[in-house]
Amino acid sequence: MTTRRKAPGDTAETRERPWPKLLTRPSLPLPAAREGRAAEPIATGSEWTTGALEKFDAALARHAQRLGLSIYPIQYEVITADQMLDLISTVGMPVHYPHWAFGKHLVAQERTYRKGQSGLAYEIVINTNPALVYLMETNTLALQVLVMAHAAYGHNAFFKNNYLFQQFTQADSILDYLKFARDYVMQCEQTYGWREVEKVLDCCHTLAPYGVDRYRKPGRLSARRERERLAERLRFAERHFNPDFAHLNSRSDETDRQTPAFEPQENILYFIEKHAPRLAPWQRELVRIVRKVSQYFYPQRLTKVANEGAATFWHYTLLHELYDAGEVDDGFMLEWLSNHTDVVTQPPFDSKAYRGINPYALGFAIYRDIRRICEAPTDEDREWFPEIAGRPWPETIHFAMANFKDESLIEQYLSPKVMRDMRLFLLHDGPDDKDSYEVRAIHNEQGYLRLRQALAAQYRAETHVPQIEVARAGDDTERALLLHHRVLDGRLLDSDGVDAVLAHVKELWGFDVVLEEVDASGSRLKVHRV
């Protein structure tokens, strides 16, 4: 994604100039001057000012309200390119605990940016209340407005209304919590040395995808409560600590903790935090921090297509509304459309530029097609989407944004037209033929349903994150931790990755760790052990 500067033409002139010979007239009529159409664009040229941004925001807010977008209040933050690099390195969060992996990300970004290989991601928005939207100072006016429409209206509305974000994250308290986490980590570094802290964090990071309650709604985050909890724990420990009996106490604790009937646990980090025999309290606290942060990002992992698609759809829609209302000029439109096109490009599978399915492209195509189905349904659409064909589009879009994640959005709304446009096809990689893939379905009548189901399954969390759970731990396993991998379609784990990860788990658990790969019938396919 690169930012490009173009000098938009002088508007007064453009309006009077005759239509250029080489360009054909558009087949669609240009939007008629509506009532209330602005006489003058809000601002022209590529330089932005705070005043202009305020006016644009007001215009965007007006259109958004008319189209029924419900959003959190917005806080725009104007930042420099260096600050943007910092932000990108910490997954966009303005506060985060320090860790080398963020630094690695930073130096990599920095190098490609300074060399001019890549521009900077020009939008970052954070799921907080108020929503934080970052505007980089080097963006042109058109880009700033594009970012505002995309992030402050598109993403913001998605964050506020999507059921996953409502259930799993607390936009009000995340920054407070991260501040608490940062201070706690830095304090631990002071007290216990950075090596120890880094070791624990490294171990937790390898398990971060397994620090999530996938189905249960987590408790509310509160930095204040976390601090109180810690203080209480310390006070208790101080009051009850008796060096003579410390040894005895810890032993009786351990035996008490064993539960006779063991239920499999999907949240491995939670299990480690509560039951790892050897962790010191501060180490448990670090596990908890990584777990909470992972939980916060969990919905984002499930809604890449839905979220980016919605944001892209809304910037596209809102900016066209601005144009139709005469509030921006042609140069402005050409500039952001060029950026927009770069973002929603989907290179074909055999292209060098192919990096998997572009979530912006897929999501944008889906939402845009929903609007098309509402406004101008064909017979095919009536057959496939009887419930939305011909209905008012804003409501339909809001419903699609609020109630689906990637998997279900695709399953519900991927239309034959989008499949045709993207020329999707389904490959099968079977165990018997390791030299070639088989084409199972293409974009034709027989293939649509199958393609849709396969693509939806591709966005299921289980497809790319192997399903691991704690199967047993305790006395009957001689303190070993027994993990199960639920094998789907015979796909085993990569043993290099397993060895590295298990070594880290062992570090936390303190005793042996065994990972069994078990298929649906319960038979063990492979056992890893450290």
Residues within window 386-415 making contact with another protein, judged by CB under 8 A:
398
Phi first, then psi, for residue 162 (nearest 5°) are -70, 140
Closest distance between another protein and the C-beta of residue 218, in Å? Answer: 22
Q: What CA–CA distance (Å, rounded) separates 508 from 88? A: 29
Phi first, then psi, for residue 200 (nearest 5°) are -65, -45
Q: Where are the beta strands (DSSP E) in 343-404?
A: none
- Selected from 38, 91, 337, 442, the binder of another protein by CB under 8 A is 442
202 binds another protein (CB under 8 A): yes
Closest distance between another protein and the C-beta of residue 172, in Å? Answer: 15
Residues within window 281-310 making contact with another protein, judged by CB under 8 A:
304
- Selected from 500, 524, 527, 529, the binder of another protein by CB under 8 A is 500
Q: Which residues contact 30 (CB under 8 A, 6 or more apart)?
A: none
Q: How many CA atoms lie within 13 A of 495 on its CB side?
A: 5
- Selected from 293, 373, 451, 482, the binder of another protein by CB under 8 A is 451
Residues within window 112-151 making contact with another protein, judged by CB under 8 A:
112, 114, 117-118, 121, 130, 137
SS (H, E, C) 100-151: HHHHHHHHHHHHHHHCCCCCCCCCEEECCCCEEEEEECCCCHHHHHHHHHHH
Closest CA to 401 of 298, 301, 313: 313
Residue placing its CB nearer to another protein in the complex, 118 or 250:
118
- Applying CB under 8 A, the span of 2-10, 12-20, 162-170, 417-425 interacting with another protein comes to 417-425
Residues within window 343-362 making contact with another protein, judged by CB under 8 A:
346-351, 354-357, 359
Q: Tell me: cis bond preceding 130? Omega within 30 of 0 counts.
A: yes
Q: Tell me: cis bond preceding 299? Omega within 30 of 0 counts.
A: no
Rg (CA), the chain: 27
323 binds another protein (CB under 8 A): no
Residues within window 210-269 making contact with another protein, judged by CB under 8 A:
none
Closest distance between another protein and the C-beta of residue 433, in Å? Answer: 8
Site string for another protein, 62-101 (x = CB under 8 A): x--x--xxxxxxxxxxxxx-xx-xx-xxx----xx-xxxx
What is the distance between the terminal CA atoms of the chain, rounded to a whole angstrom? 43
Residue placing its CB nearer to another protein in the complex, 14 or 351:
351
- Applying CB under 8 A, the span of 18-26, 243-251, 283-291, 465-473 interacting with another protein comes to 465-473
- Applying CB under 8 A, the span of 288-296, 308-316, 445-453, 471-479 interacting with another protein comes to 445-453
- Applying CB under 8 A, the span of 11-19, 111-119, 282-290, 474-482 interacting with another protein comes to 111-119
Angle at 441 between CA 440 and CA 442, to 5 degrees: 140
